[in-house]
Structure 1
Amino acid sequence: MKKIIIALLALITFIQISCSSDILDNTPTANPVDVYVVGQKNSQAAYWKNNQEVLLNNGIGCEADTLMVSNGNIHVFGKKQLDNWTTQFMHWKNNVATNLTETFNTPAQFVRTITGMDVVGDDVYFVGYTKNPLITAEIYDLVYWKNGNKTVIDIATNPTFKSKIKVVNNNVYVIGNKSNCFNNCHGVFVNGVFQTVPVGVLLKDITVKDNQVYVYGTNYTTNSVYYKNLTTGTESNITSISNAFKLLFDNDNLYISDGSNIYKNNTVINSSSFFSFYKDFVVLNDNKYILKSEGDFGTTDILYINDVNSLQVFISDGKFNTITVVQN
């Protein structure tokens, strides 16, 4: 009888786990990490930490785009589309909201857009474009803010380009376009000094390997992946991959996603179907964390940890945008 009771208890426990309403799997990895996913849930900016949902205060109508953890503080960058077709940009620190558009606006310069964030220690950086409201011409300033203090990098005429910012060893790297130039007008500003990339290259983002800074993107002249080590000046092209949606390094391996596939050292390790695509991915200590949109033209966003479905949300309920993995 005692054995029968034990067997029944085990069966009940199994049924309770199997019938859970959350389709989640806290799949263990080789090293303990915190996995953050940011996006939107029920029309409110949100993030998930190790599958636990956090709705962001004053985030109704907003969606979260980027999350960074520094000195134990959680920083989230997001936005809200207003009824007058303008965008309001938001920052949450430990779930305390700041309206960046209102904070950074001045009578002489209005915020046109904010396109990126970086956090180093307790210093918070944003990059974007501002405009003098008294000037009708489409002339903007490419700027960044450090703890709310603005630095003008250059004059800009295209505020739709999504500039990115990265701060490494007190050096500020900003992807953007140079004004008053003839040919090589696209590249990266390093502490305000412009470095060009070849004509035909459009940079996507900045990544770091062993304290060395790389910019990467797509060479549309040759339909290939381009990346450059800004520390050594070495430029590389991968002709077997047509474009760079994301590029990163882990344990001396090079990972690239073109949106449809993920490559490790130029070999496909994950591939999507016609109706699915990759939204973001991180590789840390050989463990893969992937955000993928699946179903009929992306009806479900899914977090895969080492190819196991660990968290998902239907588009009627929300969306996932990016993923952050923090080593404990």
Structure 2
Amino acid sequence: MKTLLSFLFLLVFIFSCRENNTEELEKTVASYDVYIAGRENNQSCYWKNGQKTNLPPSIYIPRKIIAENNHVYIAGRIPTVPMNYQTFWKDGIRFDLDQYLNVPVTNVPQIFDFYVKNGDIYLLGQATNLNPATPSERFEFCYWKNGVKTILFTDEFTQNDSGSITVHDSKVYVSAHKKINGVSNFGYFINTTFYPLNTNYTYRNGIASNSSNLYLYGTGTTLFYRNLLTNIQTPILSPSTGAIDKIILDNNDVYLQSKNKYYKNSSEILITDPQYSFIQEMKVLDQNIYMIRYNDNGEQKVFINNVEIQSFMPPYSFGNGLHSIDVVQN
């Protein structure tokens, strides 16, 4: 890993020759802390403003990082189970899910999403009932708040999509697919009540909130995002629409992350960098855009408003690399 000095020194140096930018960039760098979760030389770790902290043990791959109230939460997985989280760290201390959820180590639930709100830890996933009364109760789609389980629904078949979870105005919101009269419906839960939207959006979906907004997105025959507070739904009709990986809110702006582009309030914005054109993950805060991007060779770089601040060179294998980014105002 090549950490390019400190954030402040680097960015002031780069922009020293660009008039009208130095003052704005100094303010941006001084006001925000950038956290990146990843794995280097087969060692799990995270970086805060370029300073690395190792995470024991090294077998897990950190996949999602959340910084809140001076605490750092990181969810991780092992390489052989690419879609589910199996552990998490809080301030460098790792928690085994079997112990945290009080389940046998042979029956640890599949965890699809990891979320933190005011110090409360939420896990969204699927538990297996080894002794169901009926076949339809074998799999439990549920969430855990600080280790306490709430079952949203049961099914005889495992869930193929992950869904996501957020908390707004003290209510738990979950994007999900749920069968109604045998037909799979895409929609969302408010606490334990399901609100179906339609039967068409059966691909990726997600949900996100901030202090004043709450949005859901879905991908099916078309791509849309929906304000769940006003129920206003916005379709994206771009002919080049691709898979969406994440929804991000910044004040009243809605961003949808894709592979080599993103959408801001339904407007498509392509990544024009000829070398690092693919988005690993992005974060937007106060109109500043933070990105981990990569190229075909597995090289990665971190950018603030398209200015490089950190880099990672191959081998991008066995989970080595930069995987998740979070930014908070300090």
TM-score range, shorter chain: 0.7 to 0.9
Aligned equivalents of 2:248, 2:93: Cα separation in 1: 31
Q: Which residue of 2 aligns with 1:320?
A: 322
Deviation at 1:158?
2.7
Q: Which residue of 1 aligns with 2:289?
A: 288
Aligned equivalents of 1:246, 1:208: Cα separation in 2: 12
Is contact 1:215-1:230 (8 Å) kept? Answer: yes
Is contact 1:90-1:101 (8 Å) kept? Answer: no
Aligned equivalents of 2:62, 2:88: Cα separation in 1: 9
Alignment counterpart, residue 96 of structure 1, candidates 75, 93, 98: 93
TM-aligned CA distance change 1:47 to 1:179, over 3 Å:
same
1:228 and 2:211 are equivalent in the alignment: no
TM-aligned CA distance change 1:133 to 1:53, over 3 Å:
same
TM-aligned CA distance change 1:263 to 1:49, over 3 Å:
same
Letter aligned with residue 150 of structure 1:
K
Aligned equivalents of 2:2, 2:153: Cα separation in 1: 52
Aligned equivalents of 2:221, 2:36: Cα separation in 1: 35
TM-aligned CA distance change 1:90 to 1:77, over 3 Å:
same
Q: TM-score, normalised by structure 1?
A: 0.82
Task: From the two aligned structures, give the one with the greater strand fraction.
Answer: 1
Aligned 1:272-287 pairs, distance under 5 A:
276-287=277-288
Deviation at 1:108?
12
Letter aligned with residue 192 of structure 1:
T
Letter aligned with residue 148 of structure 1:
G
Aligned equivalents of 1:22, 1:85: Cα separation in 2: 28
Name the SS for the 1:282 alignment partner.
strand
Is contact 1:108-1:133 (8 Å) kept? Answer: no
CA-atom RMSD, angstroms? 3.0
Name the SS for the 2:159 alignment partner.
coil
Aligned equivalents of 2:106, 2:197: Cα separation in 1: 30
Identify the range of structure 1 (137-146 vs 249-258) with the bigger mean alpha-carbon deviation: 249-258
Count of matched residue positions in the alignment of Structure 1 and Structure 2 = 302
Deviation at 1:151?
1.0
Name the SS for the 1:232 alignment partner.
coil
TM-aligned CA distance change 1:108 to 1:303, over 3 Å:
closer
1:264 and 2:261 are equivalent in the alignment: no
Name the SS for the 1:231 alignment partner.
coil
Name the SS for the 2:98 alignment partner.
helix
Deviation at 1:122?
2.2
TM-aligned CA distance change 1:70 to 1:199, over 3 Å:
same
Aligned equivalents of 1:271, 1:304: Cα separation in 2: 13
TM-aligned CA distance change 1:108 to 1:304, over 3 Å:
closer
Deviation at 1:247?
3.1
Letter aligned with residue 97 of structure 1:
R
Larger Rg: 1
| Identical-residue share of aligned pairs (%) | 26
Letter aligned with residue 133 of structure 1:
L
Name the SS for the 2:94 alignment partner.
strand
Identify the range of structure 1 (70-79 vs 127-136) with the bigger mean alpha-carbon deviation: 127-136
Name the SS for the 2:163 alignment partner.
coil
Structure 2 spans left out of the alignment, 5+ residues: 12-24
1:161 and 2:161 are equivalent in the alignment: yes
Letter aligned with residue 43 of structure 2:
Q
Letter aligned with residue 283 of structure 1:
V
Aligned equivalents of 1:251, 1:88: Cα separation in 2: 29
Identify the range of structure 1 (129-138 vs 207-216) with the bigger mean alpha-carbon deviation: 129-138
Deviation at 1:71?
2.6
Structure 1 spans left out of the alignment, 5+ residues: 1-19
Q: Which residue of 2 aligns with 1:245?
A: 245
Q: Which residue of 2 aligns with 1:14?
A: none
Aligned equivalents of 1:269, 1:86: Cα separation in 2: 27
Is contact 2:177-2:186 (8 Å) kept? Answer: yes
Deviation at 1:77?
0.9
Alignment counterpart, residue 71 of structure 2, candidates 73, 76, 88: 73
Aligned equivalents of 2:285, 2:139: Cα separation in 1: 38
Deviation at 1:298?
4.3
TM-aligned CA distance change 1:165 to 1:255, over 3 Å:
closer
Aligned equivalents of 1:80, 1:252: Cα separation in 2: 36
